[in-house]
A and B are shown apart, each in its own frame.
Chain A
Amino acid sequence: MHPAPSVIVFTTLSGLGFGLLFWLGLGIPSVTGWSAFAFFTIAYVLAVGGLISSTFHLGHPERAMKAFTQWRTSWLSREGVAAVAALLIMAGFGAGLVFMAANWAVLGWLGALLSLLTVYCTAMIYGQLKTVPRWKQPLTPVLMLTISLAGGALLAGQVSYALILLPLAGVVQVAWWVMGDRALVESGSNLSTATGLGQPGQVRAFEPPHTGTNYLLREFVHVVGRKHAVKLRAIALILGFALPVVLLLLPFNHIFALFAIVSHLAGIAASRWLFFAEAEHVVGLYYGKR
């Protein structure tokens, strides 16, 4: 799959932003006044910034409002509805904390739940696609949720939670890669089933339908990004999970905490690049590629 920068930025930042909103909604840390204002601003910049960047890859962003209508069937629509609901509820909860020092806990819990639901919907946009076997696995939402919770804990300054969730997310990430690497073969789709021509013999793509490239090849058969997959996986694991844990274990220091957050973000961005670049769409089979 084509790793579109707008979608990588969106899933990375929004995941982190909604992760932070989850912790804020639970009242962890319990903040009011200016410090609450600072926490909520960071969460909203990340969550809303990510959502806005996701509209950059649309052919007609001006019609984006229509995407709220099909929540009964479409995970993309559900994500939009959940995101807006989470942001509105958390805005009410945040306003109470910032301006009135009032902790409307029930509103916060609801906002936290909706924040997690948003991340789950985002994950299911990918996790529902049978055409991309690497994504169509139960671990896809688990991966995105644990990363979001771990990043949120890190941003919320919850060292003890982050020290549990970061290694957990790292383990899920590795498991997701291991399962993903065999997913295409296990899906049973191959050139033989794609063409139905496997009966008489061995099928080989002889001649493509066009001399140049096309939308399908650009969007679904992105091979260049996989070249450094092993190195990028190592970078994602070290920067995303290992280094932040080491930094958190050191005696507490705001500089270390900042480094941990930056390192985590860079690692997750690498992981998201691979999420797209390594994903094989079955349409590639028709071109004899994967």
Chain B
Amino acid sequence: MTALPEHTQKKLGLVIDLDTCVGCHACVISCKGWNTENYGAPLSDQDPYGTPSGTFLNRVHSYEVQPEEGAAQLIHFPKSCLHCEDAPCVTVCPTGASYKRVEDGIVLVNESDCIGCGLCAWACPYGARELDQAEGVMKKCTLCVDRIYNENLPEEDREPACVRTCPAGARHFGDLGDPDSNVSQLVAERGGMDLMPEQGTKPVNKYLPPRPKDQMDQIDILAPFLEPVAEETKGFLGWLDKTLEKL
């Protein structure tokens, strides 16, 4: 049934640190690597050596933020399913293929029930769902449901592939429903935010905003007393400057 659960026992999700992400796309690759050969249909590519297009469950955008004063800042922005509490993608599904799990809040697609109508992707504001062109079914982040509970894996590997692989430690996985969990504390400390809160989806995944840049008003207390750098050019360059000036 595609009704959303009233309450989930856990709210498993990701916390993504926009201050730390270096934009290496390793999470994109590890996600595709794990998910193309495990849960559900593989993530196909079309024309990979020509004009490529393929299914990805995680993508990294890059944004430039230009403050009022000072230099622009480049922010890398990984984006995958936010496992929303009020997931609009679930309720629009006509077949019951999309569902949100009561036990941990993960939003999943039962691919054998999916008719590939695409309405769930229409309902998602974040572009988290992509219809696989080879399989004709909807693909989305599973929060690596086949890793996090997998007792055949060593314990340190029982977290989503993107989190496990991130070389910068910019991705964190945990229960956001538990206020004492590491991820919840991180969100509280760093002012974790929701994407497009006005859409009313109540995302579980949170984003940690970039920390403010250090301000270095004065490099040295003696700096004001230093000789200013000569502004008049001398020698050959000075001659060249004057000559070109006269032309």
Q: Which A residues form the contact surface with B (CB < 8 A)?
A: 1, 57-61, 63-64, 66-70, 72-77, 80, 125, 128-132, 187-189, 191, 193-197, 199-216, 219-220, 281-283, 286-287
Query: Using Cβ atoms and an 8 Å threshold, which residues of chain A touch B123?
Result: 129-131
Q: In the complex, given contacts A59-B136, A207-B62, A219-B121, what are 14 additional A-B residue pairs having Cβ atoms less than 8 angstroms apart? A: A63-B115, A67-B95, A67-B117, A69-B95, A73-B3, A73-B92, A73-B93, A130-B125, A131-B122, A194-B195, A201-B73, A212-B53, A213-B53, A281-B122
Q: A131-B199, A193-B197, A194-B196 are in contact. Are A63 and B119 (CB under 8 A)?
A: no
Q: Given A67-B117, A189-B125, A214-B53, answer yes or no on A59-B131 (Cβ-Cβ < 8 Å).
A: yes
Closest to B28 in A: A209
Q: Does B35 contact A (CB under 8 A)?
A: no
**Bound CA span A194–B197, Å:** 8
| Interface: B79 (CB within 8 A) | yes
Given the known interface contacts A189-B198, A209-B59, A214-B54, the answer about A283 and B125 at a Cβ–Cβ threshold of 8 Å is yes
Q: Say yes or no: is B30 at the interface (Cβ < 8 Å to chain A).
A: no
**B64 contact set on A, CB distance < 8 A:** 203-206
B95 touches A66 (CB 8 A): yes
Q: A72-B1, A130-B199 are in contact. Are A200 and B74 (CB under 8 A)?
A: no
Q: How far is the CA of A134 from the CA of B134 in the complex (A)?
A: 31
**Chain B interface, >50% SS class:** loop
**What 6 A-B pairs are tightest by C-beta distance, nearest first?**
A59-B116, A59-B136, A209-B59, A201-B67, A283-B127, A66-B95
Alpha-carbon gap, A282 to B116, bound state (A): 21
Please give, as numbers and ranges, the residues of chain B lying within 8 Å of A130 by CB-CB distance: 88, 123, 125, 199-200
B173: Cβ under 8 A from any A Cβ? no
B126 contacts partner chain A, Cβ-Cβ < 8 Å: yes
A63-B113, A128-B92, A215-B130 known; A187-B198 Cβ under 8 A: yes
B193 contacts the other chain (Cβ, under 8 Å)? yes
**A50 → chain B, closest Cβ, in Å?**
15
- Smallest Cβ-Cβ distance to B78: which chain A residue: A209
Q: Which residue of A lies closest to B23 (CB)?
A: A207
Given the complex, which residues of A lie within 8 Å of B193, measured CB to CB? 196
Binary interface profile of B, 99-129, with partner A (CB < 8 Å = 1, else 0)?
A: 0000000000000011111110111111100
**Contact bitstring B169-204, A, C-beta under 8 A = 1, else 0:** 000000000000000000000000111111110000
The 8 A CB mask of B22-53 against A (1 = contact, 0 = none) is: 00010010000000000000000000000111
Partner of B209 from A61, A194, A196, A215 at Cβ < 8 Å: A196
| Cβ-defined partner of A70 (8 Å) among B63, B75, B77, B95 | B95
* Cross-chain pairs A/B with CB under 8 angstroms, 19 sampled: A67-B95, A73-B93, A130-B88, A131-B123, A189-B198, A193-B197, A194-B125, A195-B75, A200-B210, A201-B65, A204-B64, A206-B63, A209-B56, A214-B53, A214-B130, A215-B130, A216-B121, A282-B199, A286-B127
Inter-chain contact A61/B115, CB cutoff 8 Å: yes
Give the chain A neighbours of B209 by CB distance below 8 A: 196-197, 199
- Identify the closest chain A residue to B72 (Cβ): A201
A281 to B129, CA, bound (A): 14
